[in-house]
Chains A and B, each alone.
Chain A
Amino acid sequence: METILSIRNLSVSYYTDEGEARAIRNLSLDVEKGETLGIVGESGSGKSTLALAIMGLLQPPARVKTGSIYYKGRNILSMQGEEIRKLRGKEIAMIFQDPMTSLNPVKKIRDHFIEYITEHMENIDEHKALEIARKMMKSVGISEERLDDYPHQFSGGMRQRVMIALALALNPNLILADEPTTALDVLVEAQILELVKRLKNEFSLTLILITHNMGVVAEMADRVAVMYCGRIVELSKTEELYKNPKHPYTKGLIESIPLLYNRSRKLVSIPGHPPDLRNIPSGCSFHPRCPYAFDKCMNVEPELEKKEDGRYVACHLY
């Protein structure tokens, strides 16, 4: 398999008046071409920060402390100017959580498409760009007349379809979807996920799907990376992870799935709270909440290691 994205020893912190919040700590991860990689974790575990780092979009107070992110062998974190601009949107496209706030409220949908396409492809004029826009709208199931509408004239689900159409307009290789359905109700969510699945195959995309909904990852992902407190604590094939979760945190997450049907969409079943990122517990950062914690856990931080069965876990139990 070909690795399309390779993250090495990435550390990102937010420097605020209250101190340094270590949002991502020494994280390494490979994304294989064509797969759907789910990234799950509680709120504040650093998922969006990771996504923005991959896009090279981190802004102060965030700063990359160490590490590199290779896209097809080129380090995104050392790219500048036109090089990074041409990567964004053209090679890697992003879908955001709230499509209401991620479209320009004073621009028609058609203009979103036209500027997007023409600023990346010099040899395409407005007319041709519009043709692509029509085609994309059709492929997400929206009639092309709606290109003349403004973002606020769409419902939440329709708007997310528009965002997806936009993200795919330049035929990117990698899609980063940061909680693409969290703002939608369950029925619409199912439709959007179905659409994403179909388009992923149609456009042979690699998909990184960020969510805190374990049900969504189970449905969509080939592999799952579980994030806790800025680190990946477990990484394995979706089926294995669900059948036999190893990390105590993953176990907690999976036990919490029935709660999803309670319409409580937050991962709340694990007792305790995620730690303050300015003051992360020593040793295993999960130890204050871990039912299996023992002496070593308070002093030594477990590394994410490949175990005999080929699965990656960061826990002293294994």
Chain B
Amino acid sequence: MGLREYILTRVILTIPMVFILLSIVFFVMRILPGNPVLLRFEKNADPQLIASYTHKLGLDKPLYIQYIDYINDLFHGNLGLSMSGDFSPVAPEIMSRFPATLELAIYSTLVAILLGIGLGVLGVAKRGKVDSAIKLYGIISYATPVFFVGMVLQIVFGVFLHVLPVYGRYDGTPPSGITVAGIHIQTGLYTLDSLLSGNFQAFLNSASHIVLPSIALGVVISGVFVRITRANMLETIRADFVIAARARGLKERTVLLGYALKNAILPVVTVIGLQFAILVSGAVLTETEFSIQGLGLYLVDRVYFRDYTAVQGTVVFLAIIITTVSLLIDIMYAYLDPRVRL
């Protein structure tokens, strides 16, 4: 199978998956007690007003009609209007919040990979006490809830040391990106935008905000990386080709990184893909804790108001992002392992 067919197949397979997920969310939300209209008003609001809002949102129609309507809209690329607040369209809201989540996801994955792979390799290279300590770290960090790590970081760095901000993404007006040849580039990733516009002060401002949340989430995810890296390194380090590499008198660094790690990294890459889904759920908690206006916080908020369309839209969006990332990871895997030819 060529790479193109492979990608095509994966994309086609993704559609029913997203569809099923969406359907579950659609019906479960409506079966759960509470709805966007009731949550909008006081308990003893005018029944007529409630009826008019229910009609306006189309919630008086039979469930299957609502479902068909929504799917129809979706296939036309329309995520619909929010069911609470000012009834603004869902899609732009999601897009405006996505960069915050993406930025958090990128930095915390980076933290997790650096910590995880770094400590994993260190443990295998040093053995003994260092290794035992690292093994313990792997277990503890995996078992620790992200809000606990976040809270400790907030207390230590924010409250006691006063060195890092503990909520939000930026103090003041966020950086606006850069205009190149008449095209305005603004990613919404504040650290990137500030660098693009060459504003170092703005970069420090945004970077300082992302440090604690990324460490909180990154530490929690790194536990898995430490364990996988360690386990795979220990296995590959006993492999014949590693002994053969030593027999060739290669430097220990080459043996550890070029042979043991390079081969142990393959399963780690797959795990990075799997972790991404967990990352998104972790992002929800982290965003809540650090008041980051990202998709996670949005989702929690909208579920609370039973904002059906907003929740559905966010779920569809996240599902597509997650499957895209796992596809990219697969392609990367094929690139790293010459034996896999897609």
Contact = CB atoms under 8 A, between A and B. Distances in A.
Do A and B actually bind? yes
Interface of A: 52, 55, 57, 85-90, 93-94, 96, 98, 101-108, 115-116, 119-120, 150, 152, 166
Given A96-B240, A101-B241, A106 B262 contact: yes
Contact of B249 (A96, A120, A150, A152): A120
B244 A85 contact: no
29 contacts: A52-B243, A55-B247, A57-B246, A57-B247, A85-B252, A88-B246, A88-B247, A89-B249, A89-B250, A90-B249, A93-B248, A94-B247, A102-B244, A103-B244, A104-B245, A104-B258, A104-B262, A104-B263, A106-B263, A106-B337, A107-B258, A115-B254, A115-B258, A116-B248, A119-B251, A119-B254, A120-B249, A150-B338, A166-B248
Contacts of A86: 249
Interface in B242-298: 243-252, 254, 258-259, 262-263
Given A87-B249, A116-B250, A152-B338, A105 B244 contact: no
User: Taking each of A102, A116, A120, which has the highest tally of chain B beta carbons within 10 Å of its own beta carbon?
Assistant: A102
Contacts of A89: 247-250
Contacts of B339: 105, 150, 152
B264 to A, nearest CB: 11
A106 B266 CA distance: 10
A87 B250 CA distance: 11
A101 B263 CA distance: 12
Given A104-B259, A106-B262, A94 B244 contact: yes
A80 to B, nearest CB: 12
Nearest to B246: A57
Interface in B132-190: none
B13 interface: no
Interface of B: 239-241, 243-252, 254, 258-259, 262-263, 336-339
Given A104-B241, A107-B262, A150-B338, 4 more contacts: A88-B248, A88-B249, A89-B249, A94-B244
Given A106-B336, A115-B254, A101 B248 contact: no
B249 A102 contact: no
Nearest to B127: A60
Nearest to B244: A102
* Secondary structure of the B contact surface, majority rule: helix
Q: Which 8 A-B pairs have the closest CB atoms?
A: A89-B249, A88-B249, A102-B244, A101-B240, A89-B248, A94-B247, A150-B338, A85-B249
A57 B339 CA distance: 29
B241 A57 contact: no
A119 B251 CA distance: 7
Nearest to A86: B249
Contact of B244 (A96, A108, A150): A96
Contacts of B248: 88-89, 93-94, 116, 166
B108 to A, nearest CB: 28
B296 to A, nearest CB: 36
Contacts of B250: 85, 89, 115-116, 119
Contacts of A88: 246-249
A4 to B, nearest CB: 18
Nearest to A91: B249
Nearest to B253: A119
User: Taking each of A98, A101, A108, which has the highest tally of chain B beta carbons within 10 Å of its own beta carbon?
Assistant: A101
A98 B239 CA distance: 12
Given A87-B249, A93-B247, A120-B249, A105 B254 contact: no
A1 B240 CA distance: 35
A57 B247 CA distance: 7
Contacts of B259: 104
Nearest to A101: B240
Contacts of A152: 338-339
B338 A106 contact: yes
A94 B263 CA distance: 22
Contact of A101 (B239, B336, B338): B239
Contacts of B240: 96, 98, 101-102
A150 B336 CA distance: 12
Contact of A105 (B241, B243, B249, B252): B241
Contacts of A106: 262-263, 336-338
Nearest to B245: A104
A179 B25 CA distance: 62
Nearest to A87: B249
B99 to A, nearest CB: 35
User: Taking each of A101, A104, A116, A120, which has the highest tally of chain B beta carbons within 10 Å of its own beta carbon?
Assistant: A104
A85 to B, nearest CB: 5
A105 B258 contact: no
A64 to B, nearest CB: 16
Nearest to A97: B240
Given A104-B262, A150-B338, A150-B339, A119 B249 contact: yes
B129 to A, nearest CB: 16
Nearest to A60: B127
Contacts of A150: 338-339
Contacts of A115: 250, 254, 258
Contacts of B258: 104, 107, 115
A152 B336 CA distance: 14
B179 to A, nearest CB: 43
